[in-house]
Amino acid sequence: MKGVAALFAVAVLGGACTQSARLTTVAGAEVKVRADLLPTELAGLAVTPEDITKQAKEAGGHSYFTDSRLWALRSGTRLRATLQVGHLTADAFASRTPDDVLAFERQIVNQIGQAEPRLRVLGSRRVYVTSGSEQPLYIWFTGSELFILSMAKDYGEPRGLLRQALELRP
Amino acid sequence: MRGRAAWAAAVVIFSLPLAACTGSTDNSLSAKQRSDFLDASVHAPRQFVFQRELGGARSEVRGAVADDYRYQAEVAAGGALLYREVVVDDRRFVKLDKPVADVVAGAWVADASGAPGEFARRAVGPLSGGAVLDAVRALEAGPDAELFKTAVKTARRYDPKSSDYVKRNDKFPPHSEDGVRYDALPGAYQPDLLFRQGIPPNLEQRLRAAFLYASFWFKDGRITRIETLFDIDVKRVAQDMRSALDVQAKATGGRLDPSTLPPTPGPYRETYTFQYPKDPPVVTPPAATATVRLPGS
């Protein structure tokens, strides 16, 4: 089983990304997640890119991502959420039956979250809701991209932030 | 809440007695049919009505779901409207028909606790939002969906002309406009087994396994109606429990303490109906006059 670099989001939210840092991407991989994917502000939170070089190196080739970026969302200096966007390897999102796609999504989500994921449908988008380290995690797929929105447990408007994040187009 | 509990019970019921009836599968739903029906219904924009009759009292939740985080409903009891509720993402609004505690009636107020959380344990007060959420999540994904799938899996197509048809098991009125009906029956009530070691800790669940009937209606690829009837013989079950405890007490040289007898749950009937309009319901936040902490929320 391949490891999932998505765990970055949880690990980084736990402490490492308390200050903004230079953006990097997975070493040697073709950059496919746009650096300007996020605006400078989302749902009233300031958006800054985060350095995930170390985690990317640790994942090495054992990842479903060819590229991954992480952004921190802050209110003032207080970290409220992170959004990780990973570009999936070609074999991960190769054309399959709808059942295969669902099975793959669930497989990925089960690796990321610690709670039994719940499926929510907002518009035409399937969003998996789970939690990691007691933080709510919202996970969704857009073809070749995987989005992981992680929030502080006490963040008051998770669904409002989710709505805006769902509008992002890679 | 009751609805979820009922599904939990349904699993026990439908997975035990009907396991012996797997010889014929032509009158049951195929795995693909079940999956397709659920996929098309669970998260679809819809209108719903949930009705419950318990001990002569009738309650109703009637509403609309725009998506999984946006819904609105009216909650009534005994034919009288209690309150309206609107949930839009993180916010919850309530309009009472009559004042409760310090909360005024007739105006929308925002619930200071916000919308029911995804994982947080919900309060169970009458204004907590649990009644509406249970109706909205009646076909919930996740663990509840698994329970539902099990119940549907064992249901058999309703056919009064079939040689398998048993009149006394036909507990629900016809609703031809709601599509094709599948029924699931409870297992046998075996008090000797049920109370062999006293009162089981999961009493309600075990009793539902023996007394809960369910029907599912499907139309145009979606679930349109679910009915359940908890058809328990309260007197008989109460007597069986008393006898079991009495025997147990005598075996240990004691006497039955009536206070150890748990209450016997009464019969109830629940009906969910679903409609899927061409134009999906739109749910928007009302203009609230205040933000309040609702009693029991």
Measured distance CA(A17)–CA(B144) in Å, rounded = 37
Instruction: Select, from the ranges A106-110, B27-31, B274-278, the one with the highest average predicted confidence (pLDDT).
Output: B274-278
Examine residue B216 and state whether it is found in any structural domain, yes or no. Answer: yes
| A1 interfacial to chain B (CB closer than 8 Å) | no
Answer yes or no: do B143 and A116 touch at CB < 8 A. yes
Q: pLDDT tens-digit profile of B169-195?
A: 999 988 777 788 988 888 889 999 999
CA distance A150 to chain B (A): 14
Secondary structure (DSSP) of chain B? -HHHHHHHHHHHHHHTGGGGGTT--TTB--HHHHHHHHHHHTTS-EEEEEEEEETTEEEEEEEEEEETTEEEEEEEETTEEEEEEEEETTEEEEEESS-BTTBPBSSEEEETT-SPPSSSPPP-STTSSHHHHHHHTTT-STHHHHHHHHHHHH-EE--TTSTT--GGG--S---GGG-EEEEE------HHHHTTTSS-TTHHHHHHHHHEEEEEEEETTEEEEEEEEE---HHHHHHHHHHHHHHHHHHTT----GGGSPPPPPPEEEEEEEE--SS---------SEEE--TT-
Residue A118 to residue B142, Cβ atoms within 8 A: yes
Under the banding of pLDDT at 50, 70 and 90, the label for residue A17 is: very low
Q: For residue B234, is pLDDT > 70?
A: yes
What's residue B45's pLDDT?
A: 95
* Closest listed residue to residue B151, CA positions, set B225, B203, B217, B215: B215
- Asked if the model's pLDDT at residue A13 lies above 70, the reply is no
On whether residue B214 sits in a domain, the answer given is yes
* Interface touch B142/A158, C-beta < 8 Å: no
The total number of structural domains that make up chain B? 1
- Check residue B151 and give its pLDDT: 67
* Residue contact B90–A159, C-beta within 8 A: yes
pLDDT of amino acid B209: 82
Establish if B178 belongs to a structural domain: yes
Position with higher pLDDT, B88 vs B247: B88
- Report the C-alpha gap between B142 and B249 in whole angstroms: 42
Nearest to A120 among B69, B114, B143 (CB): B69
Task: Decide if pLDDT at B286 tops 90.
Answer: yes
User: Which pLDDT belongs to residue B3?
Assistant: 45
Please state, as a whole number, how many other Cβ atoms lie within 10 Å of the Cβ of residue B22: 9
Domain that holds residue B193: 2-232+267-292
Option in A117, A121, A157 nearest B67 (CB): A121
> Does A122 sit within 8 Å of B142, measured CB to CB?
no
pLDDT band at residue B143 under the 50/70/90 scheme:
very low
Average pLDDT estimate for B230-250: 92
CATH fit for domain A7-166, picks 1.10.3470, 3.40.50, 3.40.1000, 3.30.310: 3.40.1000
- Greater confidence (B211 vs B128) lies with B211
Asked if residue A25 has pLDDT above 80, the reply is: no
On whether residue B261 sits in a domain, the answer given is no
pLDDT exceeds cutoff 80 at B67: yes
pLDDT tens readout for residues B264-280: 999 999 999 999 999 99
DSSP state of A1: -
Worst-scoring range by mean pLDDT, A88-92, B207-211, B230-234?
A: A88-92
In a domain, B203, yes or no: yes
Give A159 to chain B, closest Cα distance, Å.
Answer: 5
**Between residues B87 and B146, which one has the greater pLDDT?**
B87
Q: Which of A38-47, B3-12, B122-131, B288-297 has the lowest mean pLDDT?
A: B3-12
Q: How confident is the model at residue B70 (pLDDT cuts 50, 70, 90)?
A: very high
Is the pLDDT reported for residue A163 higher than 70?
yes
- Split at pLDDT 50, 70, 90, the class of A71 is very high
Per-residue pLDDT tens over the stretch A151-161 = 998 899 999 99
Residues 106-125, chain A, touching B (beta carbon < 8 A): 115-123
pTM for this model (two decimals): 0.82
What per-residue confidence (pLDDT) applies to B208? 84
Judging contacts by C-beta atoms under 8 Å, the chain A residues touching residue B114 are 156
Sheet holding B46-54, edge to edge: B156-157, B180-184, B212-219, B222-230, B268-275, B46-54, B57-67, B70-77, B80-88, B91-96, B108-111, B290-292
Average pLDDT over residues B33-49: 86
Nearest chain B residue to A117, by CA: B142
Q: What is the pLDDT of residue A103?
A: 84
Residue B113 placed within a domain: yes
| Inside any domain, residue B279 | yes
| Domain-embedded: residue B252 | no
Residue B213 has pLDDT above 80, yes or no: yes
Nearest by CB to B118, which of A118, A123, A160? A118
> Residue for token digits 């090495």?
A60
Beta carbons of A47 and A73 less than 8 angstroms apart: yes
State the pLDDT confidence band at B282, using cuts at 50, 70 and 90: very high
